[in-house]
Chains A and B, each alone.
Chain A
């Protein structure tokens, strides 16, 4: 049944995460940064889903676990992450609108109020 091994999911997830990290670090447009953050979150979601699924399939030797119920903890976490991410984006975009109104630019390199 499990034709795609767990390792592939994890590799994909790691690649997506790294793309997200690099994007956050190199992009100057906050909208794109947000997208990269979403990418990182979704990479994590992917691992949640993958682990949840593979745990449901059985132990290391492929034997089904004695419990009859399905393991859905990972899926539930995914719902949480999505909800939080949506809220975060809502707040973040609000801040961006506000910054744009004040400075007529949302280039993150020009927002250096924290410079010591």
Chain B
């Protein structure tokens, strides 16, 4: 805990994107495209400059001094009442600058800035250019709030804010129904997780009385210091709290069973996929786990759940990635899979390794997504060119079509995202191809590329998992390794199908590389993808820097067995290389079949078309199962409620019942209103007599 006036500068970091959002939001439509896009980009890079300055400040300090709470406003406070022993809820709008948050801030603003720059070129042809940058800046603002807030409630504000921006940006092409549906799906699936976060926060406040991350000795992070920890709180309560929070993380970070929204989120523009659905927002769950690591470490059950969900998602999503033909969907499943690795690392207790993978993944996955955007752009350009030549001024639909995974008679020839329309692009778009191949080597885990250092670290740590069952670490390690093989395979499948072999469509033959504003971020990210981990930011350095934020002293006692680590690492590497070789062999070998008639091309598969292929191709029918169990049964349930409860009980009994009762009682009471003055007089007299008799009787009894 340390306060330093320099760190008040941290307020500038979220301020720049907020200003950019306000200017673009109110005046963007009137501004020239260069101004609104440039403004948004400059705002994010300004934040990056401030963040980098603070980062340099942090690296110069001792481990114990690396945590700074930047004082802010008192948001609200509900005062305690000592008489009724009500707890006090005081929420301050403070910022927390520590190694964990500064790493996230630098990813968000650094990678985010590059993606903004890329977008200025990628979105240049769009009508609603300013709207796009408005949302993008708003997203950066909320994401910064999420990682900078010093308590769970500020985090939750950011959490919901990025969810909103994700919704808005997935549905950016709002004239397309599939985009709207995907946006709604993302929103609804995330709601399920967010309910978990809310319940977790309620329980946390109920039992710990605070939501702060750092407030001296107390606060969520500081609860380990409490002497009454093990007497006051049962393990069950803590397990419930962290599992609820983890439910939120599975929603935001697209883990099983709430991952279904992420592949559909690819309906958004490609820079959005790179920024929100690869580099930043989806890692928010990993950030939250790391931020609350001391809480998660209290519950073995929760940690095991995190690890199992993570590693299962990694494998599950990787197999689904094998069969996709849409270039962005391959990357989407790959993202889900890599996020699974991060959660597995968190579950194994090595939050630093998880965060390291967040960093390297942000570099290579953003590079891959931006590269795929560049490819799509090139193909679209080719399609425009071709249709212009063929049909003169006739309008041609080249919008990003919703792509169905099931190849009903081959690829849609007008789909610029379908890899079956690509091929041979290496010579047409060499810069994009080179950067994507570098990023692919990184994600596959080839040494000297960023992904190797983080993934190798995670898989090695999975070997050291000490579980309840004796061979738990074999299972974790085995699944991790298998996933790494599959990852290498499907990523090289993407590269081979896109860049090598013959061009499989007219558009691919005349594709041209993108402009400099799009290539520059690609080159920067590719450079980072092949230098991080050895040229700078080695894992040990990173873990040391992060240690004050994400490691509990004495929680992990890893075995240092250099021979074992080397042996396992070498085995992993050989396996990866073999699976890459197998992939290249199979797809290059299948070249002839791909060139045959469209029917053969459509049905060409590397596996025999058995039931397994069919099941994986259809993504294990998870969407169909959700559709049946939740959407369809939900609709039936709602329909039954409508006809059975709403119409009969609410309308029939309560609403109309009150009306009928009034009518019926009135028809009896109106008989008393006979209009005869004398009968009214009589009833008055009777009333008076009753009152009098009553009073007299009361008097007689001494009332």
Contact = CB atoms under 8 A, between A and B. Distances in A.
**A interacts with B:** yes
Interface of A: 21, 24-26, 28, 108-109, 111-116
B670 interface: yes
Given A25-B678, A112-B676, A116-B672, 15 more contacts: A21-B685, A25-B681, A25-B685, A108-B678, A109-B676, A111-B677, A113-B675, A114-B675, A115-B674, A115-B675, A116-B669, A116-B670, A116-B673, A116-B674, A116-B675
Interface string B357-388: 00000000000000000000000000000000
B678 A109 contact: yes
A25 B682 CA distance: 6
A108 B677 contact: yes
Contact of A112 (B669, B671, B675): B675
A115 B672 CA distance: 9
A115 B673 contact: yes
B681 A114 contact: no
Contacts of B677: 108-109, 111
A116 B671 contact: yes
B674 A112 contact: yes
Contacts of B669: 116
Contacts of A116: 669-675
A103 B682 CA distance: 25
Contacts of B678: 24-26, 28, 108-109
Interface string B511-553: 0000000000000000000000000000000000000000000
Nearest to A21: B685
A88 B671 CA distance: 30
A114 B682 CA distance: 16
B619 to A, nearest CB: 71
Interface residues of B, number: 13
Interface string B674-703: 111110011001000000000000000000
A28 B678 CA distance: 8
A60 B672 CA distance: 48
A21 B689 CA distance: 12
B629 to A, nearest CB: 58
A112 B675 CA distance: 4
Contacts of A21: 685
Nearest to B682: A25
Interface of B: 669-678, 681-682, 685
User: Which 4 A-B residue pairs are closest in the complex by CB-CB distance?
Assistant: A112-B675, A115-B675, A116-B673, A116-B670
A19 to B, nearest CB: 13
Which of A25, A26, A112 has most chain B Cβ within 10 Å?
A25
A79 to B, nearest CB: 25
A111 B685 CA distance: 20
16 contacts: A21-B685, A24-B678, A25-B678, A26-B678, A28-B678, A108-B676, A109-B677, A109-B678, A112-B675, A113-B675, A114-B673, A115-B673, A115-B675, A116-B669, A116-B670, A116-B672
Nearest to B674: A115
Contacts of A25: 678, 681-682, 685
A72 to B, nearest CB: 28
A26 B669 CA distance: 24
Nearest to A28: B678
A24 B674 CA distance: 17
Contacts of B676: 108-109, 112
Nearest to A30: B677
Contacts of A28: 678
Nearest to B685: A21
Nearest to B679: A25
B426 to A, nearest CB: 94
A28 B676 CA distance: 10
Contacts of B672: 116
Nearest to A27: B678
A69 B681 CA distance: 41
A23 B676 CA distance: 15
A116 B665 CA distance: 13
A111 B678 CA distance: 11
A26 B676 CA distance: 11
Nearest to B677: A108
A111 B680 CA distance: 13
A113 B680 CA distance: 13
A114 B672 CA distance: 11
Contacts of A26: 678
Contacts of B682: 25
A113 B682 CA distance: 18
Contacts of B670: 116
A69 to B, nearest CB: 31
A114 B674 CA distance: 7
Contacts of A114: 673, 675
Nearest to A116: B673
A115 B676 CA distance: 8
B482 to A, nearest CB: 86
Contacts of A113: 675
Which of B669, B671, B677 has most chain A Cβ within 10 Å?
B677
A13 to B, nearest CB: 15
Nearest to B673: A116
Contacts of B673: 114-116
B400 to A, nearest CB: 72
Nearest to B667: A116
A30 B670 CA distance: 25
Contacts of A109: 676-678
A115 B677 CA distance: 10
A95 to B, nearest CB: 12
B58 to A, nearest CB: 85
Nearest to A108: B677
A113 B685 CA distance: 22
A115 B670 CA distance: 8
A71 to B, nearest CB: 24
A65 B672 CA distance: 52
A6 to B, nearest CB: 19
B488 to A, nearest CB: 89
A85 to B, nearest CB: 17
A109 B675 CA distance: 8
A112 to B, nearest CB: 3
